[in-house]
Structure 1
Amino acid sequence: MDEHLEISEPAQHKALGHPLRHRLLMALGQQPATISQLSRTLEQRKGNIAHHMDVLYTAHLVEIAETRTVRGGTEHYYRRAARRLTFLDPDATPIVLRAVADELAVSEEIGGRLRNVRLTAEQARAVTSAIEEVIDDLEDAGDDAERYGLLAAVWKPQPAGTS
């Protein structure tokens, strides 16, 4: 498994066009899993999971970690292709946020804060830079530690009455 993967290929962007595929990638961040295990975890039909996993596999976002023979059939354990995925395309943000919202709805929230504050453009860039530095400097505690999601964003809301 690679340490880092920048999402840049058209096939990867297309593959990430569905919120369930983001949830699959989040689930596979915990540990490798089979279609059946993912189906139970995400409460989705196996056929639905298999279809979306095939799309992610074709886009090289997941890979087969292990293959086992079970009752005469072959069972694949999938894992993410990289520990860390970076989404460079700003058009991916709404889809990623929907997937995070779906995950938050069924997860234990440890902490979070939403704040609106008046800043200059320079201050907003400085805050963004500081947040990115904190995130980039985090050390992975290893496979035995629990996995946590981390969402940090700075955005400029649209004025009322504009679209």
Structure 2
Amino acid sequence: MRGQLPSPPPPEDVLEIGAPEQFAALAHPLRQRLLFALGGRPATIRQLAGQLDAKKGNVAHHLKVLREAGLVHIAGTRQVRGGTEQYYQRTARHMVVAEPRAAGTAAMLAAFAQELDLSPAESHLTLRHLRLSPAKARELAETLAELVDAAEEVEAAEEDAEGRPLHGVLVALYQQALPPDTTGSAPVT
């Protein structure tokens, strides 16, 4: 993009989400999409509004919420036509939600659905249910994380990656909740 600042690394590699204001900030699909958009490099309100097809005032409001929650920061400024343009960046390359909450998860999935709907290319979406021991579930989670990390490292090492399309990756592994007792028997008291 024209007028883009060089991409300094975020101050942290991993940020663990846990504060109530962080969960509140994650509970809106546009804020999720802003975090997605800021995953690659810093951007201005104008650039983000154009990329996400949103109003600049709306983007500014949601960036303020994300900034107050410690999820984004101002990475730099630049003088333009008598004003100062601010470049926003995520505070960490990776954000991990140790104990996901329903509102944040719903907003993330809604943002993901919007991204998927707007994708100009064919997407891949699969849901499977597997019977796994706790050890096998941990092994699968580690393998999935390693796979995504390896793809990210390869992309970062390639010199011509800047001009390539950006792809989103959503990885989830969860244990399905047990269904309520459907045998019809009354609890023993």
Length-normalised TM-score, structure 2: 0.73
1:111 is matched with which residue: 124, 128, 133? Answer: 124
Give the distance between the partners of 2:140 and 2:110, measured in 1 at CA. Answer: 21
- Runs of 4+ with deviation above 6 angstroms: none
Offset at 1:157? 6.4
CA deviation map 1:45-72 (0-9, x unaligned): 1000000000111111001111001000
Q: Please give the residue correspondences for 1:126-141 in structure 2 after superposition, counting only pairs within 5 Å.
A: 126-137=135-146, 138-139=149-150, 140-141=152-153
Offset at 1:78? 0.6
Q: Does 1:43 align with 2:53?
A: yes
Contact 2:27 2:105 in 1 (8 A): no
Aligned sequence identity (%): 44
Offset at 1:124? 5.6
The equivalent of 1:10 in structure 2 is 20
The equivalent of 1:72 in structure 2 is 82
Give the distance between the partners of 2:178 and 2:112, measured in 1 at CA. Answer: 22
Give the distance between the partners of 1:124 and 1:20, measured in 2 at CA. Answer: 37
Partner SS state of residue 54, structure 2: coil
The equivalent of 1:88 in structure 2 is 98
Q: Which has the larger radius of gyration?
A: 2
Offset at 1:136? 3.0
Deviates further, 83-92 or 139-148: 139-148
Q: Please give the residue correspondences for 1:46-61 in structure 2 after superposition, counting only pairs within 5 Å.
A: 46-61=56-71
Give the distance between the partners of 1:127 and 1:104, measured in 2 at CA. Answer: 30
**What is the count of residue pairs matched by the alignment?**
157
Q: Does the C-alpha gap of structure 1 residues 96 and 127 become closer, same or farther in structure 2, counting only changes over 3 Å?
A: farther
AA aligned to 1:80 is R
The equivalent of 1:27 in structure 2 is 37
Offset at 1:135? 3.3
- Please list every run of 5 or more consecutive structure 1 residues that lacks an aligned counterpart in the other structure: none
1:153 is matched with which residue: 162, 169, 172? Answer: 172
Contact 1:124 1:154 in 2 (8 A): no
Length-normalised TM-score, structure 1: 0.83
Q: Does 1:62 align with 2:58?
A: no
Offset at 1:116? 3.9
Q: Does the C-alpha gap of structure 1 residues 65 and 109 become closer, same or farther in structure 2, counting only changes over 3 Å?
A: farther
